Amino acid sequence: MKDVVVIGGGPSGLAAASKLAEKGYDVALIERKEELGGVLDQCIHDGFGTKLFRKALSGPEFAGFFIDRVKALSVEVQFQSYVKSVSVRNGIKEIVSVSPRGVERIETKTIVYALGCRERHQFEIKIGGTRPAGVYTAGMVQRLVNLYGVLPGKNVVIVGGGDVGMIVARHLYLEGVEKILIVFPEEFFAGLPRNVQQCVLDFGIPFKPRTIVKEIVGKNRVEGVVLVRVDERWNPIPGSEEFYPCDTVILSVGLIPYSAKLQKLGARIDPRTRGPEVNEFFETSVSGVFAVGNLVQIFDYVDDAVESAQIAANGVEKYLNGEPKRKEPILLKPGENIRTLTPHRIEWNDERNVVAFFRPAVEMGNAIVELRDGEGNLLKKYFKRYIRPSTLERLEIPREVLNGSREVFLSVSRRS
């Protein structure tokens, strides 16, 4: 029987496996692909590791650090393995996996899920029209260009103003794509300010805010798109349609956690993040089952996703040591101007600060972040020079601030 099985060999899965192996536990890592690293293998641009390593690394360089650690610590890795089912009985978890070796069963005391997320497609954002060749997600394009050296087209429309869309636009520009246009429904880009400057403005890549693709036109190959202007609520403005010729449409319209497996296991899902509800050590509502990285919520920085895995490793240690939890959890809830918030509850007796991540629902300067109990009493106040929905914020909350409360609300307001 294993102490821990980590499912998923991306950066957060690698970080969890290496941290737990360092602690001396018997760890197995299951990966469905032929190599470790997850999506970072295709992200050859730099910018990774600025928090963790204090320098900008490419995706493969960042992943390589943790791959080397996993190898050095002799973590058992199973490649090309698909987890068919997971069952929990009397605290023991049984994993059934399918691989070229056949059907295998693994018993383990704990599981760390690190499945990551998937890209949204055109039908989820209600783009009409035909289904010709030349429609890709941004991740597919990164894989084509960076791993196989294949350009998707010559005249490209990128749908979405987030970080990945901007990074892909810059890369296609540098690879010699003749024409690029970025369209998005927001008033300005939804990604990190550094990417707006370094990926779009520095290269003069054209973009159209308050614009969406209403329809894709083409029979065998994309021939163009119908663009339409939208108002501040993203409703199409009648009469603003225009045809824009292109041969490729790239969708960068958001990511969704792969939480279906956990939901099937009985874990509660947060409708805001669409990932599992977790406590301060990233344990789900299923005892002994943990979730990390983009499976919990979409992190802007891979460094933060890795931190979630390292925090979870401490939680696995507490679980395996049989440390008692609180009689009643403290519920951490999003208040005014908060879009998403993790963790959802504080359950363990521990002295370490609680690391919380929240995404604001508003863009605001001189913001005050407040923690209040259910009676409205102020517990803790933080100052943020500037917040925006495109940036996931990190807070460290002293645990003693939360003690004695049944529920705590986190909210954002402007400093008067």
> What is the pLDDT, as a whole number, of residue 416?
63
For domain 325-416, the question of CATH label 3.30.870 is answered with: no
> What is the pLDDT, as a whole number, of residue 414?
84
Q: Determine contact, residues 291/262, Cβ cutoff 8 Å.
A: yes
> What is the pLDDT, as a whole number, of residue 390?
86
Residues in a beta bridge with 208: 183
Given the DSSP bridges, would you call strands 82-89 and 76-78 parallel, antiparallel or unpaired? unpaired
Residues in a beta bridge with 378: 372
Q: Determine contact, residues 12/309, Cβ cutoff 8 Å.
A: yes
- Alpha helices for 55-132 (secondary structure H): 59-72
Q: Determine contact, residues 339/361, Cβ cutoff 8 Å.
A: yes
> What is the pLDDT, as a whole number, of residue 192?
84
Q: Quote the CATH superfamily of domain 1-119+255-323.
A: FAD/NAD(P)-binding domain (3.50.50.60)
Please report where in the chains the tokens 């050859």 appear, as a residue. 44
Please state which CATH class domain 121-253 belongs to: alpha beta
- Reference 284, options 24, 7, 30; nearest CA is 7
Residue 305, SS3 per DSSP: helix
Provide CATH 3.50.50.60 ranges for the chain: 1-119+255-323, 121-253
- Reference 38, options 261, 292, 279, 286; nearest CA is 292
CA distance 87 to 78: 19
Provide CATH 2.60.40 ranges for the chain: 325-416
CA distance 125 to 115: 23
**Which run of H or of E encompasses 11?**
helix 11-22
Q: Percent helix, strand and coil across the chain, each rounded to 5?
A: 25, 40, 35
Tokens representing 16? Answer: 């969890």
Tokens representing 362? Answer: 């508003």
> What is the pLDDT, as a whole number, of residue 329?
96
CA angle 137, 141, 142 (to 5 degrees): 115
> What is the pLDDT, as a whole number, of residue 123?
84
Tens-digit pLDDT string for the chain (416 aa): 999 999 999 999 999 999 999 999 999 999 999 999 999 999 988 889 999 999 999 999 999 999 999 999 999 999 999 999 999 999 999 999 999 999 999 999 999 999 999 999 888 888 999 999 999 999 999 999 999 999 999 999 999 999 999 999 999 999 999 999 999 999 999 888 889 999 999 999 999 999 999 999 999 999 999 999 999 999 999 999 999 999 999 999 999 999 999 999 999 999 999 999 999 999 999 999 999 999 999 999 999 999 999 999 999 999 999 999 999 999 999 999 999 999 999 999 999 999 999 999 999 999 999 999 999 999 999 999 999 998 899 999 999 999 989 999 999 998 76
Phi, psi torsion values for 125, nearest 5 degrees: -110, 15
